[in-house]
Homo-oligomer: A and B are copies of this chain.
Amino acid sequence: MALDLRADPIDLTAALVDVPSESGQEAALADMVEAALRADAPHLEVVRNGDAVLARTNLGRPSRVILAGHLDTVPVNGNLPVRREGGHLHGLGTVDMKGGDAVFLHLAAAITEPKHDVTFIFYDCEEVDAARNGLGRIERELPDWLRADLAIVGEPSNAVIEAGCQGTMRVQLKVRGQRAHTARAWRGSNAIHGLVEPLRRLAEYHPRTPKIDGLTYREGLQAVRVHGGVAGNVVPDEAVLEINHRFAPDRSPAQAEQHLRQVFEGFELSVVDISPGALPGLDAPAARELIEAAGGQPVAKLGWTDVARFSALGMAAVNFGPGDPALAHTQQENVAVSDITQVAKVLRSFLGG
């Protein structure tokens, strides 16, 4: 089966959804994307890198825009093949993020003389460990393909421009005690009972909602895992709480860590992983043009996405894609076709094809 990039982005979304592409198994879809770009967009320079496909114009424009979308999905969950019902497409990847991919592929073929030079990146392994993310490999092997003034990541954003992104950090809080037989519990010290105080601080925590460049971010502090215990008759000597902190991009990772150390003062805390946020960066000219084309006020991105990777490379970066991000990774994943049409319309106006 070949993809027809000249088809309506809605039909193109459906075609992409029906090629399964769980992380690590994107080869078939990447082959089709590569063949379609070579056939339907002969004005673009196309390269293949692993299971990522990259394509760009080289028109000497004063500015360059990246349109990036991952090709992979989470594992199938009884939600294939695609199903169209009323104004919605249902199925795995309709939201996360083959709708965005379809719009970008459509534009790759449709707009031969864009106002900005454009780099299209369709990449692999976004839904798994950050170390496997195809963008990291591209950064190592094809760094000049990641130079631009603005990156638009097609992750679902309800067809609204989401700017910047919050940082995310996971820490482990360990409470220690002393083992004893539960029949003589007073000889020990119960580490699980010792979770009362850190859990109380968590439950009573009031997250900040800072306003940055006119966008309101909403931080969060949540226990995501707890475990402890030795045996059914032993006073446990260790209990571990794993906590996820989402922090607005006005704080660096170091500042966010310092904040958590204050919140949990008196407790043993270690950082499991940490990803910086990205400031909105909406004063870049290309970003301003995009917002104008969208005709609306951008909103703050609360989750962490690859926007932060582009931001770290020194360009403005936003999320802009069809679909409700709250439906991503759910079995009921579905996208309003009007979102697909809206994103395509805004980007066509922005790129001026």
Taking Cβ atoms with an 8 Å cutoff, the residues of A that contact B are 166, 168, 170, 181-187, 190, 192-196, 199-200, 202-203, 218, 220, 222-236, 239, 241-242, 244, 246, 272, 302-304, 325-326
Query: Which residue on B lies nearest to A303, using beta carbons?
Result: B183
Question: Interface majority SS on A: helix, strand, loop or mixed?
Answer: mixed
* 27 contacting pairs across A/B (C-beta < 8 A): A168-B182, A181-B326, A182-B222, A182-B244, A182-B246, A183-B304, A184-B303, A185-B222, A186-B220, A190-B202, A192-B202, A192-B223, A192-B225, A192-B226, A193-B199, A193-B202, A193-B222, A195-B226, A196-B199, A223-B236, A224-B232, A224-B233, A226-B227, A226-B229, A227-B227, A229-B242, A232-B244
CB distance from A278 to the nearest CB of B (A): 14
- Cα distance A184–B303 when bound, in Å? 8
- Cα distance A303–B234 when bound, in Å? 12
Q: Assuming the A-B contacts A192-B199, A235-B224, are A184 and B302 also in contact, with contact meaning beta carbons closer than 8 angstroms in the complex?
A: yes
Query: Which residue on B lies nearest to A235, using beta carbons?
Result: B222
Chain B residues with CB under 8 Å of A203's CB are 190, 193-194, 196
Central interface residue in A183, A190, A225, A272, by most chain B CB within 10 Å: A183
CB distance from A194 to the nearest CB of B (A): 8
Query: Which residue on B lies nearest to A205, using beta carbons?
Result: B193
Query: Which residue on B lies nearest to A194, using beta carbons?
Result: B203
Q: How many chain copies does the complex carry?
A: 2
Chain B residues with CB under 8 Å of A202's CB are 190, 192-193
Query: Which residue on B lies nearest to A246, using beta carbons?
Result: B183
Chain B residues with CB under 8 Å of A236's CB are 223-225
- Cα distance A272–B225 when bound, in Å? 23
Chain B residues with CB under 8 Å of A227's CB are 226-229
- Cα distance A236–B325 when bound, in Å? 18
Whether the Cβ atoms of A183 and B229 lie closer than 8 Å is no
- A-B pairs, 3 with minimum CB distance: A225-B229, A183-B303, A192-B223
Query: Which residue on B lies nearest to A225, using beta carbons?
Result: B229
Chain B residues with CB under 8 Å of A242's CB are 229, 232
Whether the Cβ atoms of B234 and A224 lie closer than 8 Å is yes
Whether the Cβ atoms of A233 and B187 lie closer than 8 Å is no
Whether the Cβ atoms of A183 and B200 lie closer than 8 Å is no
Chain B residues with CB under 8 Å of A220's CB are 182-186
Q: Given known contacts A192-B199, A194-B203, A199-B199, what 5 new A-B pairs fall within 8 Å (CB)?
A: A183-B246, A184-B303, A192-B224, A193-B203, A224-B233
Chain B residues with CB under 8 Å of A194's CB are 203
Query: Which residue on B lies nearest to A195, using beta carbons?
Result: B199
- Cα distance A142–B173 when bound, in Å? 54
CB distance from A189 to the nearest CB of B (A): 11
CB distance from A281 to the nearest CB of B (A): 19
CB distance from A158 to the nearest CB of B (A): 13
Chain B residues with CB under 8 Å of A326's CB are 181, 184, 187
CB distance from A301 to the nearest CB of B (A): 9
Whether the Cβ atoms of B199 and A226 lie closer than 8 Å is no
Chain B residues with CB under 8 Å of A200's CB are 196, 200
- Cα distance A203–B200 when bound, in Å? 13
